[in-house]
């Protein structure tokens, strides 16, 4: 996605230890026009990959919400975001899966209520980053637990120097990233 790649080249900052800062347009401040373009790009790429009949988009709070919302808007389907902290409105008996979190440290528990995901659903999984793939893999387990069918995985930024794609390949669904980045000589380069 050209507009995203240009934004990464102009604004992304490499903080060392594999960490890429894109707080200016993804993780803290969001550019709605760019983000709606991400939704359009995901919809077109999955359609081209033969992924059809999607009924739900699933992501995890927090930074996945905006690009997943844009994708759900373009596809005309609801978005379900897995919670990491159980709100008082969430009943017991929810689907849960654990994932290690590097950006937060420790283990994160992801929760989705069976009220909003089930046997009849065909799901597109969207997240901001594909790094080691642990969060997306945990979301895929939640989707499987619900009986829904995972049809595709989309990530805004894929770190090609991490092992995420390898971890997700056994899921046997198209994995689409809108920008693939590498780090060379402590600099971010588009792969």
Q: Which residues bind its own copies (CB under 8 A)?
A: 15, 19-24, 27-33, 35-36, 61-62, 65-66, 69, 72-73, 76-81, 83, 85, 87-90, 102-104, 112-113, 115-116
- 61's tokens: 């709070």
Burial (CB count <10 Å: 0-12, 13-18, 19+), residue 153: buried
Considering beta carbons, is residue 102 or 165 the nearer one to its own copies?
A: 102
User: What DSSP string runs through 88-101?
Assistant: TTPPSS-EEEEEE-
Considering beta carbons, is residue 13 or 166 the nearer one to its own copies?
A: 13
Considering beta carbons, is residue 131 or 178 the nearer one to its own copies?
A: 131
Considering beta carbons, is residue 68 or 175 the nearer one to its own copies?
A: 68
- Nearest approach in angstroms of CB 48 to its own copies is 22
- Nearest approach in angstroms of CB 169 to its own copies is 27
Close Cβ partners of 159 (under 8 Å, ≥ 6 residues apart): 18, 20, 129, 130, 131, 181, 182, 183
């Amino acid at each position: 996605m050209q507009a995203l790649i240009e934004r990464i080249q102009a604004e992304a900052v490499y903080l060392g230890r594999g960490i890429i800062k894109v707080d200016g347009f993804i993780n803290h401040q969001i550019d709605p026009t760019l983000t709606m373009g991400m939704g359009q790009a995901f919809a077109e790429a999955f359609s081209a990959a033969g992924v059809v009949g999607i009924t739900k988009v699933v992501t995890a709070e927090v930074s996945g919400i905006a690009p997943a919302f844009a994708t759900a808007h373009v596809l005309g389907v609801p978005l379900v975001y897995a919670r990491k902290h159980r709100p008082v409105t969430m009943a017991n008996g929810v689907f849960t899966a654990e994932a290690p979190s590097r950006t937060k440290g420790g283990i994160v528990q992801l929760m989705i209520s069976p009220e909003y995901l089930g046997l009849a659903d065909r799901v597109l999984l969207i997240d901001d980053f594909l790094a080691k793939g642990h969060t997306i893999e945990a979301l895929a387990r939640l989707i499987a637990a619900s009986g829904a069918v995972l049809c595709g995985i989309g990530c805004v930024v894929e770190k090609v120097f991490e092992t995420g794609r390898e971890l997700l390949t056994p899921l046997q669904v198209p994995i689409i990233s809108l920008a693939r980045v590498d780090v060379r000589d402590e600099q971010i380069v588009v792969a």
